[in-house]
Amino acid sequence: MKNDPVLFGRVSRFVGSLAQCGELGIKPVLAVPNELILELPYSNAIVGNPDSGVIHGGAITTLMDTTSGSVVICGLPEFELCPTLDLRVDYMHAAKPGASVFAKATCYKITKNIIFTRCLAYQESDEEPVAQCVATFMRIGAEATPLEFRKMIVGNDEEHV
Amino acid sequence: MDLKELMAKAHETGDYSELIATIPYAVTLGVECERFGDEVLFKLPRKKSNIGNPILPAIHGGVIGGFMEISAALHLMMFQDTPKLPKIVDISLDYLRAGLDRDTYVECQLTRQGSRVANVIVTAWQKSRSEPIALARAHFLFS
């Protein structure tokens, strides 16, 4: 699939503004309407089990929370800051040490107040998921989103919308 | 030192930092722990790299979730006869308030310990225990 340059730019700026994502090296891979893939590279900093080198579930929670929270940018016509209401993560099996984990998310329902998202974390293939996550986000509206933040995310691509 | 020895030493001295230092992700977040008899309090001191939303600024929701998950796993290990790193099965997180750029505390409650699975309820707060910023329920597997 080909990247949507406007969405990819917005998601990159959004994810780039989150200090924890910089710390873990989380970065966007693919952004298209209503679908987003982010990558979490393997590093020693996120290891949960020092004997096996398996990464901690918490790092996967951060990856999936970020992907689910950012796919909202790909699902809404305008940028809105959407706080997380809840998040449920099922861990199907340990991620293989030494390899990146990818998370693919989609908004499966958008209402006036709430956005419902689904997200899969995987390594080689999304048919063999490492974890799955469903989440809900609150819509506070584009006008309630701080203007400064909105400008930073939307950048110069406003005319494309 | 293996996990059993580290745990025994931590129980004896009341200093769990050496034990936590063996988990790289816990060090990345900056997790601390203090025990008061049978009560255990986990602390996540404010840290720039744990921030998500830069405008508020607020702690990344994933960091709060990760901190709660680590705390629950450590809590389980601390009360086992033979400490072993439990495997997380699932976690359900409710975010109640923004986690501001300040210290965060976590307390765990072991709801049910079966032979293979444990259920833990986790509460996270900043200003006051009566105003939690997040609640979680998690299942862990021992195998």
Rounded to two decimals, the ipTM of the complex is 0.94
Distance CA A133, CA A12 (A): 22
How high is the pLDDT of residue A158?
Answer: 59
My answer on whether omega of the bond before A129 falls inside 30° of 0, hence cis, is: no
Cβ within 8 Å, pair B63-A20: yes
User: Could you tell me what percentage of chain B is helix, strand and coil, using 3-state DSSP and rounding each to the nearest 5?
Assistant: 30, 35, 35
Nearest of A103, A106, A81 to residue A14 by alpha carbon: A81
Residues B116/B124, Cβ–Cβ less than 8 Å: no
Strand, coil or helix: what is A73?
helix
Residues A82/A74, Cβ–Cβ less than 8 Å: no
| Distance, first Cα to last Cα, chain A | 21
How high is the pLDDT of residue A47?
Answer: 96
Distance CA A58, CA B8 (A): 26
How high is the pLDDT of residue A100?
Answer: 98
Distance CA A37, CA A66 (A): 10
Cβ within 8 Å, pair B90-A84: no
Q: How much is the pTM?
A: 0.95
The pLDDT of residue B84 is above 90: no
How high is the pLDDT of residue B83?
Answer: 85
List CB contacts (< 8 A) between B95 and chain A. Answer: 83-87
How high is the pLDDT of residue B37?
Answer: 87
Cβ within 8 Å, pair B67-A21: no
Give the pLDDT of chain A (161 residues) as one tens digit per residue.
899 999 999 999 999 999 999 999 999 999 999 999 999 999 999 999 999 999 999 999 999 999 999 999 999 998 888 999 999 999 999 999 999 999 999 999 999 999 999 999 999 999 999 999 999 999 988 888 888 888 888 887 755 44
CA distance B94 to chain A (A): 4
The pLDDT of residue B62 is above 80: yes
Residue in chain B closest to A145 (alpha carbons) equals: B55
Most A CBs within 10 Å, among B31, B44, B63, B74, to test the A interface:
B63
B34 strand-pairing partners: B41
Nearest to B51 among A19, A24, A50 (CB): A19
102-141 in B: which are within 8 Å (CB) of A? none
How high is the pLDDT of residue A161?
Answer: 45
How high is the pLDDT of residue B139?
Answer: 97
pLDDT digits (tens, 9 = 90+) for B6-57: 999 999 999 999 999 999 999 999 999 999 988 999 999 999 999 998 888 9
